[in-house]
Structure 1
Amino acid sequence: MSGAPTREVARRVFASEFNDATYTFKESDEERAPVYALLPTGERANRVFFVGTLTETEDVGSDSEYWQGRVVDPSGTFFMYAGQYQPDAASHLREAEPPEYVAVVGKPRTYETDEGEVNVSIRPESITTVDAATRDRWVVETATRTLERLGAFEEDGEYARMAREHYGDEGEYDVERYRRAALSALEDLEDEDGNESVEPEASV
């Protein structure tokens, strides 16, 4: 039996949901077991895939380069950080000329602030400059996947129950805001393009 870890599927998720995914967990006690972020719509994510507008880059490192990038999608902002252990991603952020559309695959990271709040960011594995059509297809596909997760959420599966436990407030849990965000993203796309027949992108 091979000891090599299998490559996890990169989940498509909008920024508004990703930034709420503050709970992380492992499903094994093994040292190299993957760490998952629990999406509020009831799915685990070891890797995520998103496309948006890179609006800003900044070297926030002190002793060495450590690049921050901000990527905006229709629902909010992703924050990603790349340093010496992500040389390709760091190089892209160093040389980028915002604004530009980018496609990013990376791993969720959480950290607690001095005030006790949990912030969520991305450690990018790859950053690729893309065109508007690629961004549009990602919006359509991500809205579709979000709505599919919400449909499965009602079936009260394992991760849906975990989401209610960790994100619920006194037994009440409003996942409908993610449905609204997905539908709003589609409406914004139609308003921008005047084109309602954008084809979903093939799986990555």
Structure 2
Amino acid sequence: MSSVPTREVARRVFAREFNDATYTFKESDDDRAPVYALLPTGQRANRIFIVGTLTETQDVGEDSEYWQGRIVGPNGGTFFTYAGQYQPDAASMLRELEPPAYVAVVGKPRTYETDDGEVNVSVRPESITEVDESTRDRWVIETAERTIDRIKHYQEAEADEYVEMAREEYDLPVENYKRAAIEALESLEAESEATAD
């Protein structure tokens, strides 16, 4: 068996659930152990995969470039992504892209506690790619399916440690995420009807 670390699967998640994923943990005490965000539907995520409309970019760095991107999903949920000197490719994409543009982002969830104790969740991008509308549409359909699968597992699982952890950490009805998935699918239908007219 090789000891080469494998990359974690990038989880597909809508903004509503991602922004509620305020609890993070490590599986070991090793300094280099991956940090996971616990999704409220009971799955751990070390990497996520999102597609949406980049609506705004801004250099929020003080001494060096540090780019913030605002990415809006089909049902209006918002992801914030931040890239600086350690993510040069992603930072240059945020610098060069002209919003609005459809983008696919693979990155790591990051949490940040504000002075008033709120926890904000953002994405530290590994890659940002400009994509077309059909790629965005496929992502919405697949993410809705994965979300509904996770909810079903959450509701039926008896002895799943991440589901148990989510039940303990979050007092959030998982039905919210099912609604987000359905709204996202409905927004696609509405868009395609509008284009067909």
Give per-residue Cα distances to partners, 1:121-153, cap 9 Å, x unaligned.
Answer: 000000000000000000000000000000100
Query: If the length of structure 1 is used for normalisation, what is the TM-score?
Result: 0.91
Return the match for 2:162 from 159, 182, 185: 159
Rounded Cα–Cα distance in structure 2 between residues aligned with 1:40 and 1:46: 14
Please, what is the CA RMSD of the aligned residues?
1.3
Letter in 1 for 2:180: A
CA shift in 2, pair 1:69/1:110, >3 Å: same
Q: Which residue does 1:127 correspond to in 2?
A: 128
Give 2:34's aligned residue. Answer: 34
1:193 alignment counterpart: 192
More helix by share: 2
Q: Aligned equivalents of 2:191 and 2:52: distance in 1?
A: 14
Of all paired residues, the percent bearing the same amino acid is: 75
What is residue 202 of structure 1 aligned with on the other side? none
Structure 1 match to 2:142: 141
152-161 or 126-135: bigger deviation: 152-161
Matches of 1:125 and 1:61, distance apart in 2 = 19
Alpha-carbon distance, 1:118 to partner: 0.4
2:51 aligns to what? Answer: 51
Equivalent residue, structure 2, for 1:20: 20
The 10-residue stretch of structure 1 (21-30 or 3-12) with the greater mean CA deviation from structure 2: 3-12
Partner in structure 1 of residue 178 of structure 2: 179
CA displacement at 1:31 relative to structure 2: 1.4
Which 10-residue stretch deviates more, 182-191 or 56-65? 182-191
- Give 1:95 deviation, angstroms: 0.6
Q: After TM superposition, which residue ranges in structure 1, 4 or more long, deviate above 3 angstroms? A: 1-4
> Structure 2, unaligned stretches of length 5 or more?
none
Residue in structure 2 matched with residue 83 of structure 1 by the alignment: 84
